[in-house]
Amino acid sequence: MGFLGPLGTHSEAAAIYLKGMVPEKYELVSCANIYEAIHQVEQGQLDSCLVPVENSIEGSINITLDTLAGSDNLQVVRELIWHVHNNLMMRSDTGEDVPVKRILSHSQPLSQCREFIRCNYPLAEQEAVASTAMAAKLVAEAEPTDGWAAICTRRGGELNGLKLVAENIEDLPNNSTRFYQLIRRDSKENTDYGQPEKSLIICQIDGKDAGRLCEILTELADRQVNLTRIESRPARTGLGEYIFFLDVEMPEHRWQLEEALAGIRQRSIWLRQPGEFPTINADN
């Protein structure tokens, strides 16, 4: 199972947690970026991957959505809700008199800790890097007198010999990230992934037709299929043309969802349903 590396990222922590919760015996594989993790699943080089799709503070992870929209070969089999905790860490040999001059992290944790940084380190420069683990690695390679610090997981910092300066520095205590576990649709693994609780629907509609989005939402509402999230992304086919991502709860009866899907398909240029899946809410 692939995840966004290197070792010590939030994605690795989530993957370790999921590995311990499910019956399958996964070997975890670090990937350079989210696209590589998904692409290796499409190519059959990985059995599955765990990739972030949305953060409760910073919103959607566009590369995950765009890749799902562009593929017929991917299936969502699980959703994991991971509670994000960020820590500020520095080299263990940094003296107490050395101020924090530069803070490195992935762009999302920098945004998630914006108020903490403003209140405690208003003069520190901020630098976005590929991952929280990369931030920890760069801080470990800097001179202890440089005043570099990383916002990272505790494991990511400890793997690079960093010390904890401040823990749980996220601005909001309910900071969470949703992950999707993806497999190939033609996977031959005979696995019971659990009772489906949600479904993902992806469709492109003709925005020139007035009320078309309303008609699609009505297809769900008329059959009492609860919509929990809607997101739009450019279709890349022209200005004003969009793809919609709809998260819905599985209704009491399957026919309700099947009839809603049939109605939405009639009103869409194209439609994909990448999966019906259970949700795991981590207790981290």
Q: pLDDT tens digits for 137-168?
A: 999 999 999 999 999 999 999 999 999 999 99
Whole-angstrom distance, CA of residue 180 vs CA of residue 23: 17
Average pLDDT, the chain: 93
Q: Where are the alpha helices (DSSP H) in 211-278?
A: 212-222, 254-266
**Would you place residue 254 in the very low, low, confident or very high pLDDT band (cuts 50, 70, 90)?**
very high
**Torsion angle of C-alpha atoms 79, 105, 120, 146, degrees rounded to 10:** 160
Question: What does pTM read for this prediction?
Answer: 0.87
- Sequence-ordered list of residues with C-beta below 8 angstroms from that of 53, at least 6 positions apart, any chain: 60, 61, 64, 65, 178, 179, 180
Q: Is the pLDDT of residue 210 over 90?
A: no
87-166 homologous superfamily: Periplasmic binding protein-like II (3.40.190.10)
Q: What backbone torsions phi and psi does residue 191 show, to the nearest 5 degrees? A: -120, 135
- Start-end of CATH 3.30.70.260 domains in the chain: 198-276
Say how many residues make up the chain.
Answer: 284
- In the chain, residues under CATH classification 3.40.190.10 are 2-84+175-184, 87-166
Asked if 142 contacts 119 with a C-beta cutoff of 8 angstroms, the reply is: no
CATH class of 198-276: alpha beta
Handedness of CA 218, 81, 65, 46 (dihedral sign): negative
- 254-259: long-range pairs with CB below 8 Å, 24+: 256/223, 256/224, 256/225, 257/199, 257/223, 257/225, 259/219, 259/223
CATH of 2-84+175-184 among 3.40.50.150, 3.40.190.10, 3.40.50.9100, 3.40.50.300: 3.40.190.10
